[in-house]
């Protein structure tokens, strides 16, 4: 069984929105949980106070409990988190929306049917999971999607997964006898991300991917010399542990559904991997 934990970055006035998820095998979850507890202990020592959850925006900017933690120390923590995910052989999945491209496509029935850009990105992530695992033996109905319960889009995404629109099925080449999204367990689940360790890692990944793309595309200046290069390096590492690019952004031979997600994505993110 696969558990996929999601979070997002860019729900405000930012030019890009990124939804990212960590995909973990159920057989390794108890080890992951124990190890993340050790990681939070290390973060607490770095911050000089108890850290029970990890908010990427505050951490990266040095705000809140991280105000007294140096930039170099915070960089080392991000490197440690990336290494932590890499060594546990978790995968990740991500989707990005250029908000200006999304606005230009408003009126498209597919966009309107998804109700929000967050739902578009979340559905794209679900489709990647479906496409990647649908041919694995015994995996049908064994992937659980878990999102932050604070989102107002909860009902919309639940309905989309429960009754997916016809246009998405070309994305994973659904056969005539195949049930829609048959890899996914029932409907998505929603929980408080502060209690879900891998959702906090997904938050960091989404933040890195979004910030890297915004700097590369000139929407944001570097906060320090070399930030763009460092962010792109971290994004490349995330892409290397992600599900294959062929499940995410095909470079050629895209169906209409895949073309829509390609058109919505920032160039920097769709070319990763």
Reported as a single tens digit per residue, the pLDDT across 196-214 is 778 889 999 999 999 999 9
Reference 161, options 219, 108, 115; nearest CA is 115
Residue 64, CA distances (Å) to 47, 49, 68, 170, 232 in order: 10, 11, 9, 46, 26
Reference 194, options 150, 161, 153; nearest CA is 150
Q: What is the pTM of this model?
A: 0.92
Higher pLDDT, 158 or 195: 158
pLDDT over 90 (residue 270): yes
pLDDT over 80 (residue 179): yes
Mean pLDDT (whole number) for 224-236: 95
Q: For the chain, how far is it from start to end, CA to CA, in angstroms?
A: 26
CB 243 within 8 A of CB 129: yes
- Residue 138: predicted pLDDT: 67
- Residue 64: predicted pLDDT: 76
Task: For residue 149, give the CATH number of its domain.
Answer: 3.30.420.10
Q: How many CA atoms lie within 13 A of 90 on its CB side?
A: 28
Q: How many Å apart are CA 172 and CA 179, to the nearest integer?
A: 12
Lowest mean pLDDT among 20-34, 75-89, 167-181, 252-266: 20-34
Q: What is the pLDDT of residues 91-130, one digit of tens each?
A: 999 999 999 999 999 899 999 999 999 999 999 999 999 9
Q: How many Å apart are CA 222 and CA 230, to the nearest integer?
A: 11
Q: How many Å apart are CA 58 and CA 62, to the nearest integer?
A: 6
pLDDT over 70 (residue 47): no
Q: What is the pLDDT of residues 133-157, one digit of tens each?
A: 998 866 666 899 999 876 678 999 9
- Residue 46: predicted pLDDT: 67
CB 151 within 8 A of CB 241: no
Domain residues for the domain of 186 are: 2-270
CB 203 within 8 A of CB 14: no
CB 47 within 8 A of CB 238: no
Reference 261, options 19, 49, 73, 72; nearest CA is 19
- Residue 4: predicted pLDDT: 94
Q: Are strands 189-191 and 16-25 parallel, antiparallel or unpaired?
A: unpaired
Tally of domains in the chain: 1
pLDDT over 70 (residue 165): yes
- Residue 52: predicted pLDDT: 65
């Amino acid at each position: 069984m696969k558990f996929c934990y999601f979070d997002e970055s860019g729900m405000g006035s930012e030019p890009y929105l990124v939804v990212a998820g960590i995909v973990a095998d159920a057989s390794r979850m108890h080890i992951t949980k124990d190890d993340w507890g050790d990681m939070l202990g290390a973060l607490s020592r770095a911050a000089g106070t108890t850290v029970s959850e990890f908010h990427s925006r505050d951490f990266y900017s040095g705000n809140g409990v991280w105000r007294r933690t140096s930039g170099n120390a915070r960089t080392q923590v991000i490197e440690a988190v990336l290494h932590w995910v890499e060594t546990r052989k978790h995968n990740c999945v991500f989707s990005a929306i250029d908000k200006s491209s999304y606005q230009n496509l408003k009126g498209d029935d597919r966009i309107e049917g998804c109700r929000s850009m967050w739902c578009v990105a979340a559905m794209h992530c679900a489709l990647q999971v479906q496409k990647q695992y649908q041919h694995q033996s015994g995996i049908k109905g064994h992937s659980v999607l878990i999102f932050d319960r604070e989102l107002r889009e909860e009902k919309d995404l639940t309905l989309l997964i429960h009754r997916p629109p016809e246009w998405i099925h070309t994305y994973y080449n659904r056969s005539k006898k195949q049930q829609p999204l048959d890899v996914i367990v029932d409907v998505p689940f929603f929980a408080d991300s502060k209690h879900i360790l891998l959702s906090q890692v997904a938050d960091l990944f989404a933040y890195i991917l979004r910030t890297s793309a915004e700097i590369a595309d000139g929407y944001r200046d570097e906060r320090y010399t070399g930030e763009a290069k460092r962010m792109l390096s971290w994004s490349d590492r995330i892409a290397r542990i992600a599900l294959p690019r062929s499940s995410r952004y095909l470079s050629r031979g895209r169906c209409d559904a895949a073309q829509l997600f390609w058109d919505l994505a920032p160039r920097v993110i769709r070319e990763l991997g």
